[in-house]
């Protein structure tokens, strides 16, 4: 192949022949630069931001929680979503720093929200799989809560099923310590992993979030309607609250409400936005459910 060049590594003193693909090299150096930029953004605390997406309670119609979703405003590449950079932090051993940055900022914002007249509004924060093996996590959460004097019940940690499976006993131990602080726990993207009922029962959870993939075809798929109905019933049997993710239409909302789903989140109400925009679109005491034309 024309794009495969051969070279010999000299520094090693051995005659090792490597195949060298210039396209791969280019890609690798792009990723390396991105990694470097991300480390710097974290250190200087200047380019990472939290966006928030409302979670609405279907019984009261009120704003119940905000999910914190991290964004990176890269000087060259613009606004990057977590799919683009979480994996970089995970692969290079600084996802704990990133999630810690998010937790600190979220606690800070919780404090601001309380002063702006949103008492009891919760913030839900995503936690990487890798951090569920990090013994320091409960201590850090406790520190951030104390530093901002936020009530622990106003903070929720979202963990994914895959996060739990790699070392379930260790994860349970860690989650129990976090739960003991008073922080709420939810299982995210439910239905996409392999959680068994036995695991679900052992975890100290408050909330189950049904993955968006089960919500998007509700209108056309009888099977998805049955699955969602069954997940809601199962979650309630385990005394968990149910949030449906990715609700985009009034039809989906009506179905979920009819089946006793507790809370919803999705573009129907709002995409994730900076906190100031959330505050101006959802002032305290308004009921977002009424705004989309739904009765209680
Ligand atoms: P997630 O926790 O399941 O978050 C929901 C994702 O669905 C968000 O994508 C959100 O923008 C998107 N979404 C919400 N409603 C709708 C809808 O109605 N329609 C559609 N099509 N999409 C909707 P986002 O912000 O790109 O985040 C992607 C994932 O990145 C999150 O999935 C979460 O797993 C992860 N993530 C986000 N923030 C953090 C963080 O601070 N730390 C870690 N470790 N992971 C994070
Ligand atoms: Mg989430
Ligand atoms: Mg999710
Ligand atoms: Mg999801």
pLDDT in tens, 3-52: 343 333 334 445 555 556 666 666 678 889 999 999 999 999 889 999 99
| CA–centroid distance, residue 177 to ligand 3 (Å) | 23
Nearest ligand, CA 52: 1
Q: Is 198 helix (H, G, I), strand (E, B) or coil?
A: helix
Atom of ligand 1 nearest to the CA of 267: 18
Positions of the chain with pLDDT under 70? 1-27, 295-296
Which among 50, 69, 109, 214 is the best mutation to test ligand 1's pocket, defined by most ligand atoms within 8 Å of the CB? 69
- DSSP code of residue 30: H
pTM: 0.91
Q: CB 259: neighbour CB atoms within 10 A?
A: 16
- DSSP code of residue 54: E
Are the CB atoms for 185 and 163 separated by under 8 Å? no
Nearest ligand, CA 134: 1
pLDDT of residue 72: 97
Atom of ligand 1 nearest to the CA of 158: 2
Cα dihedral 52, 58, 63, 67, rounded to 10, equals -20
Element of type H or E holding 128: none
Atom of ligand 1 nearest to the CA of 272: 11
pLDDT of residue 6: 39
The rounded distance, in Å, linking the Cα atoms of 173 and 275 is 33
Q: Output the ligand 1 site: residues, CB below 6 A.
A: 53, 69-70, 81-83, 86, 99, 102, 126-128, 158, 188-189, 212, 245-248, 265-267, 272
pLDDT of residue 199: 81
pLDDT of residue 166: 74
Nearest ligand, CA 186: 2
pLDDT of residue 256: 98
Helix/strand/coil percent split, the chain, to 5: 45, 20, 30
């Amino acid at each position: 192949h024309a794009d495969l060049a051969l070279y010999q590594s000299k520094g090693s003193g051995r005659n090792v022949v490597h195949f060298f693909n210039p396209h791969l090299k280019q890609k690798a150096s792009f990723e390396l630069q991105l990694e470097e930029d991300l480390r710097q953004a974290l250190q200087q605390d200047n380019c990472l931001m939290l966006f928030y997406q409302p979670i609405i309670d279907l019984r009261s119609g009120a704003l119940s929680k905000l999910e914190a979703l991290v964004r990176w405003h890269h000087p060259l590449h613009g606004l990057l979503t977590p799919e683009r950079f979480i994996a970089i932090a995970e692969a290079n051993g600084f996802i704990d720093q990133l999630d810690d940055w998010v937790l600190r900022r979220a606690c800070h914002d919780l404090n601001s929200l309380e002063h702006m007249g949103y008492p009891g509004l919760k913030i839900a924060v995503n936690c990487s799989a890798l951090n569920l093996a990090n013994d320091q996590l409960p201590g850090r959460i406790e520190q951030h809560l104390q530093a901002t004097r936020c009530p622990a019940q106003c903070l929720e940690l979202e963990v994914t099923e895959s996060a739990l499976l790699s070392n379930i006993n260790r994860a349970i131990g860690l989650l129990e310590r976090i739960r003991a602080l008073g922080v709420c726990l939810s299982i995210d993207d439910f239905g996409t992993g392999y959680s068994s009922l036995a695991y679900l029962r052992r975890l100290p959870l408050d909330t189950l979030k049904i993955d968006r993939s089960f919500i998007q075809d509700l209108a056309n798929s009888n099977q998805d309607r049955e699955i969602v109905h069954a997940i809601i019933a199962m979650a309630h049997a385990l005394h968990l609250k149910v949030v449906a993710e990715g609700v985009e239409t009034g039809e989906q909302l009506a179905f979920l409400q009819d089946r006793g789903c507790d809370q919803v989140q999705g573009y129907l109400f709002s995409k994730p936005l900076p906190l100031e925009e959330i505050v101006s679109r959802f002032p305290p005491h308004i009921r977002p459910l009424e705004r989309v034309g739904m009765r209680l």
